[in-house]
Amino acid sequence: MPVSSKLPDFPWDLLEPAKAVAAAHPGGIVDLSIGTPVDPVPPLIRQALADASDAPGYPLTAGTPELRTAIAAWVASACGAGGAVGVLPTIGSKELVAGLPALLGLGAGDVVAIPEVCYPTYEVGVQLAGATAVRADSLTALGPDPRVRMIWINSPGNPDGRVLPVEHLRKIVAWGRERGVTVVSDECYLSLGWETTPVSILADEVSGGDYNGLLAVHSLSKRSNLAGYRAGFVAGDPSLVAELLAVRKHAGMIVPKPVQAAMIAGLTDEAHVAEQRERYFSRRVVLRDALTAAGFTIEHSQAGLYLWATRGEECWATVQWLAERGILAAPGAFYGPRGGQFVRIALTATDERVAAAAERLS
CATH number, domain at 19?
Answer: 3.90.1150.10
Task: Indicate the residue among 218, 238, 269 that finishes a domain.
Answer: 269
DSSP secondary structure letter of residue 256: -
Q: Are residues 174 and 289 located together in one domain of the fold?
A: no
Q: Are residues 175 and 60 located together in one domain of the fold?
A: yes
What residues of the chain score a pLDDT lower than 70?
A: 1-6
Whether 329 contacts 343, CB under 8 Å: yes
* Total count of domains within the chain: 2
Q: Are residues 264 and 283 located together in one domain of the fold?
A: no
289 within domain boundaries: yes
Burial per residue of 74-111, b for 16 or more beta-carbon CB atoms within 10 angstroms, e otherwise: bbbebbebeeebbbbbbbbbbebbbbbbbbbebeeebb
Q: Are residues 115 and 241 located together in one domain of the fold?
A: yes
Whether 132 contacts 149, CB under 8 Å: no
Q: Are residues 119 and 88 located together in one domain of the fold?
A: yes
Q: How many CB atoms lie within 10 A of CB 190?
A: 24
Whether 315 contacts 10, CB under 8 Å: no
CATH number at residue 141: 3.40.640.10
50 within domain boundaries: no
Q: What angle do CA 333, 336, 226 make, to 5 degrees?
A: 85
Q: Are residues 248 and 279 located together in one domain of the fold?
A: no
Q: Are residues 238 and 321 located together in one domain of the fold?
A: no
pLDDT score, position 226: 97
pLDDT score, position 3: 65
Spatial separation of the C-alpha atoms in residues 18 and 127, rounded to whole Å: 28
Give the dihedral of Cα atoms 319, 321, 322, 326; nearest 10 deg.
Answer: 120
Q: Are residues 26 and 167 located together in one domain of the fold?
A: no
Q: Are residues 112 and 13 located together in one domain of the fold?
A: no
Distance from CA of residue 3 to its chain's centroid? 24
47 within domain boundaries: no
Alpha-carbon radius of gyration of the chain: 20
Task: Indicate the residue among 238, 269, 300 that finishes a domain.
Answer: 269
Domain holding 175, by residue range, is 55-269
pLDDT score, position 139: 81
pLDDT score, position 64: 98
Whether 315 contacts 19, CB under 8 Å: no
Q: Are residues 249 and 294 located together in one domain of the fold?
A: no
Q: Are strands 231-236 and 214-219 parallel, antiparallel or unpaired?
A: antiparallel
pLDDT score, position 4: 60
Task: Indicate the residue among 239, 269, 299 that finishes a domain.
Answer: 269
What is this structure's pTM? 0.94
Whether 215 contacts 29, CB under 8 Å: no
16 within domain boundaries: yes
How many residues in the chain?
362
Q: Are residues 243 and 277 located together in one domain of the fold?
A: no
69 within domain boundaries: yes
Q: Are residues 263 and 279 located together in one domain of the fold?
A: no
45 within domain boundaries: no
